């Protein structure tokens, strides 16, 4: 998307702007000559995550904007208020708030400790509410006031809650702020909207969740930045309370070829759909996966394949594989070959078979038999399967994703 200059001189307060989507939105606005408040926690380089508020500020100024880096934990009222006061003192006001800061834990109820629960809710929901609330006096003075939350459309489908209800509640809290504040502030001329990606976006967070190969099925953060720019360039009184999806925004702006945003252009038609949305063109009814335990394949269609598969896996086990994996997996299979199987890659030289594992599993994977075969044959990757509801994971999420590397190594031998 070509910059139009509509954000020149505007001041954007962006949380979580030191990296990822937040930084890309900042850079896009900076090319118009906007003022950017980089409100994030990272002041010193992180051992695993790139970028600090200072390195982001340097990039913003090189792009043509003015930057003010602020150490801000959105859970801290004093830090938030101080950053806002500094922004107003330096730039004269605040026109746009982008609530991007977020925390994620894709754990089920038993595996979500309350410290992690509180972190997600305090950053996602409370932080969004706090930053928006404290910026309101200045937004009301602006003639181009926007609040944009990086949060999903609200949907009450159980499949978005079951695997990680704590995260869904926290993320939907941001979206509920959109719904409520849009109605509350419409007479003040403040647009309050949400933006969410159709597909996985290549950020440090997605790489930590799904591994180094996540680029294969992700889009670049630039697609979110371009979509945000299109929204924030509009007159705020013309629309509010909308839940936008990035590709729909860009198509509405006349950008039809989205291949440029794919990290790997050859995979542009085979991207991983993000949480809380359906694939392009699909409806909730057609895209919803079969419930866990539903027996969708014809009985007997895969008869005997699972025992043969595990026999083959057993013949390939070695101390080397065990030392690299260090995890015990349980597979709850529904469909034509319903049953429970295990793979112990933690003890001795490894073992596998039917029934529950001899020791407590680190990860339990639930899927139907067709998806199970597709996953072990390399046709279905674990991370996209999880995000689209074809695979349910309880226990250690990261160890479950280690299976992908194992399957890739064993694929030629199975």
Per-residue pLDDT, averaged over 141-164, amounts to: 95
pTM: 0.81
Render pLDDT for 170-221 as a digit per residue (tens, 0 to 9).
999 999 999 999 999 999 999 999 999 999 999 877 777 666 678 888 999 9
Given 167, 172, 261, 342, which residue is catalytic? 167
Tokens 């039917």 sit on residue: 354
CA distance 392 to 211: 18
Please give the pLDDT value at position 31: 98
Q: Is the pLDDT of residue 265 over 70?
A: yes
For the segment 64-78, what is each residue's pLDDT rounded down to a tens digit?
A: 999 999 999 999 999
167 is catalytic: yes
């Amino acid at each position: 998307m070509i910059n139009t200059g509509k954000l020149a001189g505007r001041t954007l307060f962006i949380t979580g702007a030191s990296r990822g989507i937040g930084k890309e939105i900042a850079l896009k606005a900076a090319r118009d000559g906007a003022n950017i408040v980089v409100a994030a926690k990272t002041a010193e380089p992180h051992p695993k995550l790139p970028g600090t508020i200072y390195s982001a500020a340097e990039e913003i100024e090189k792009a043509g904007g003015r930057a003010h880096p602020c150490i801000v934990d959105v859970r801290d009222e004093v830090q938030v208020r101080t950053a806002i006061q500094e922004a107003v003192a330096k730039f004269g006001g605040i026109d746009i708030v982008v609530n991007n800061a977020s925390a994620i834990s894709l754990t089920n109820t038993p595996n979500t400790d309350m410290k992690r629960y509180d972190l997600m809710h305090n950053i996602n929901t409370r932080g969004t509410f706090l930053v928006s609330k404290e910026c309101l006096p200045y937004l009301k003075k602006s003639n181009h006031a926007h609040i944009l939350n990086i949060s999903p459309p609200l949907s009450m489908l159980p499949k978005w809650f079951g695997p990680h209800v704590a995260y869904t509640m926290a993320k939907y809290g941001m979206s509920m702020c959109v719904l409520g504040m849009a109605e509350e502030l419409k007479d003040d001329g403040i647009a309050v909207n949400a933006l969410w990606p159709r597909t996985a976006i290549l950020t440090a967070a997605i790489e930590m969740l799904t591994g180094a190969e996540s680029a294969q099925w992700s889009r670049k953060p630039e697609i979110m930045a371009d979509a945000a720019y299109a929204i924030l360039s509009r007159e705020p009184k013309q629309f509010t309370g909308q839940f936008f999806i990035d590709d729909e925004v860009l198509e509405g702006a006349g950008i039809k070829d989205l291949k440029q945003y794919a990290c790997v252009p050859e995979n542009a038609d085979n991207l991983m759909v993000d949480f809380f949305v359906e694939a392009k063109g699909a409806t909730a009814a057609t895209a919803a996966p079969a419930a866990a335990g539903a027996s969708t394949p014809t009985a007997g269609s895969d008869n005997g394949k699972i025992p043969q598969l595990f026999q083959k896996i057993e013949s390939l086990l070695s101390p080397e594989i065990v030392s690299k994996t260090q995890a015990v997996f349980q597979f709850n299979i529904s469909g034509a070959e319903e049953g429970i199987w295990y793979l112990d890659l933690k003890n001795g030289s490894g073992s596998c078979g039917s029934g529950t594992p001899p020791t407590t599993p680190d990860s339990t994977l639930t899927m139907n038999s067709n998806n199970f075969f597709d996953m072990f044959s390399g046709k279905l990757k674990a991370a996209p399967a999880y995000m689209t509801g074809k695979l349910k994971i309880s226990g250690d999420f990261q160890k479950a994703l280690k299976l992908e590397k194992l399957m890739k190594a064993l694929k030629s031998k199975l």
